[in-house]
Amino acid sequence: MESETTDKSPAVQKLKEWDAQTITEVIEFRGETTVVVPRDHLRRASEYLISEPSLRFSFLSDITTVDRFPIEPRFEVNYHLLSLDRRERLRLKVRLPGNDATVPSVVSVWPTANWHERENFDLFGIRFEGHPDLRRILMPDDWEGHPLRKDYPVEGYR
Amino acid sequence: MTITIETPAGAAQTMVLNMGPQHPSTHGVLRVVLELEGEIVVKAEPVIGYLHTGIEKSCEAKTYSQAITLTDRLDYLAPLSNNLCYCLAVEKLLGLEIPKRAQYIRVLLTELTRIASHLVWVGTHAIDLGAMSVFLYTFREREEILKIFEYVSGQRMMTSYFRIGGLALEPPPGWLDHVRRVIDALPSHIDEYEDLLTSNRIWLRRTKGVGVISASDAIAMGASGPMLRGSGVAYDVRKAFPYSSYDEFDFNIQTQTAGDCFARYQVRMAEIRESIKIVRQAMGKVPAEGPIRTEAPGIVPPSREEMKTSIEGLIYHFKIYTEGFAPPPGEVYQVIESPRGELGFFVASDGSAKPYRVKVRAPSFINLQSLPKLAEGRLIADVVACIGTTDIVLGEVDR
């Protein structure tokens, strides 16, 4: 799915030049750029985006998941990056199948990801491989189920 | 709740102490598990979730307009900032352009919100550190600002005044005179607080050099707002990614380089003064008359008069309040500068009348993550100062 568009985002250009395999798709919507990254390349791509001197995505603003149940791949994990000096935002997206919702942790790249990943684990059941301390954060430790999944009722199980 | 006090095997004599969830200086229901060696904090671990109400899940069961009322309840000290961020996100999804008059009123009111929020912060932080009187003064001034909100929106705190496409109501006549009275009185009050605190020797001893975080650590931990600017990083969403016509206003980003509790105090005090500047400019810019809502049939409700006199108006009114409206499928991430830092709303639409997913990037939640960095190696009493200057609102932390 190589997109032929003239990408305005320097980050997408750079990523493409560096390793075209890290990009499965580029989505432009309302002036926001989303790069879909294969799960296996996420850590490498993150390390590149933070360390490349002309990009410097040093600030991880947010990690959030969307559950597309019952569509497969079911989960989309979104990473909202920000380059503080260049004032550019970029969203990385990783698609995960419902029966194997694991993704490499990026805590070693952005330490702030620690609580974000715990939250996504707690509410969606996404497992972040290599996370130093993957526990529930908002729900009680003995809670069953992951409340923000679409097959979890709004009123909870009674 | 069981409180566990245990001695870790092998280590030197340390004690585990629970601070909170019911503790006056944790500003709500924050629990911090402290591992102590004497009075020195060896390890601090915030435990959150006591106020988790599932707001993000609830949003998925409401129409886009109904969800606005939930955003008030996130950061209850700055409801209008939350309203604004959510509305901007949905407006981005819809591709709506908002009339200038509504944009200026939004700026004016969110800056008043920032002042009110910082006033609460100064007051409560001072009371945490033993300076009782400041609290009484700041709450007096905050009440005046809440009266403006009540005058304009009908509510002191849970305003829900910003709606998708503009504002809920036409502001009442003479409201700007009311704002002017409050704003003109404020600078001398701020001087009063600074007289009480800025050169107060006890205050300095309690805040200077306490809870230091370096610029690179603050960025790595995702800290934002006064937390980040107190460490010398001049990042403010209002300047970096202007929204709601902030690019037309003249103001400065306030920074300090020390990165300690005192620096964050200085940043917030200076921000109150900057916000007063912005409010003054906004008062000059707001036209006396003009639309407060954009024209978008089927999305933005028609005016009361139109609803009563035209059949189209009646149909749209009925449809909007029963079915809602359906934005195109897609995802947006909108950030604004809330009093606590970078507030973000991620809204995903699947083309139906209810948001498929709403995620709040709560600045308090992420700033709180730095607490162990601030507090470890210091005295228990300093933990109170550190929690205070991260300026958390538990409604937003736990959502």
Question: Which residue stretches of B129-260 are H helix?
Answer: 132-153, 175-197, 201-207, 215-220, 226-229, 237-240
Q: B46, A139 in Cβ contact below 8 A?
A: no
At B85-110, the pLDDT tens digits run: 999 999 999 988 899 999 999 999 99
At A62-121, the pLDDT tens digits run: 999 999 888 888 999 999 999 988 888 999 999 999 888 899 999 999 999 999 999 999
Report CA-CA distances (Å) from B333 to A63, A110, A119. Answer: 11, 19, 18
Provide the 3-class DSSP secondary structure of residue B119: helix
Phi, psi of A52 (to 5 degrees): -60, 120
Angstrom distance (rounded) from CA B87 to CA B68: 8
With CB atoms and an 8 Å threshold, state whether B61 touches A139.
Answer: no
The pLDDT confidence band at residue B10, using thresholds 50, 70 and 90, is: low
pLDDT at residue number B6 = 60
**pTM, two decimal places:** 0.90
pLDDT at residue number B106 = 92
Q: Nearest-CA distance from A18 to chain B in Å?
A: 24
B241 at interface of A, judged by CB pairs closer than 8 A: yes
Percent of chain A that is helix, strand, coil (3-state, to 5): 25, 25, 50
With CB atoms and an 8 Å threshold, state whether B398 touches A32.
Answer: no
B86 at interface of A, judged by CB pairs closer than 8 A: no
At B106-123, the pLDDT tens digits run: 999 999 999 999 999 999
Q: Nearest-CA distance from A109 to chain B in Å?
A: 9
B366 at interface of A, judged by CB pairs closer than 8 A: yes
Residue of A nearest to B51 (CA): A138
Q: E-assigned strands of A4-152?
A: 25-29, 32-36, 59-67, 75-83, 88-96, 102-104, 127-129
Residues of B in contact with A137 (CB under 8 A): 48-49
As a whole number, the mean pLDDT across chain A is 86
Residues of A in contact with B348 (CB under 8 A): 66
Nearest Cβ partner of B331 from A29, A89, A154? A29
pLDDT at residue number A4 = 47
With CB atoms and an 8 Å threshold, state whether B398 touches A140.
Answer: no
A34 at interface of B, judged by CB pairs closer than 8 A: yes
The pLDDT confidence band at residue B295, using thresholds 50, 70 and 90, is: confident
The pLDDT confidence band at residue B181, using thresholds 50, 70 and 90, is: very high
pLDDT at residue number B24 = 73
As a whole number, the mean pLDDT across chain B is 89
Residue of A nearest to B217 (CA): A111
pLDDT at residue number B377 = 85
Q: B80, B162 in Cβ contact below 8 A?
A: yes
pLDDT at residue number B226 = 92
With CB atoms and an 8 Å threshold, state whether B369 touches A112.
Answer: yes
The single-letter DSSP state of residue B293 is: B
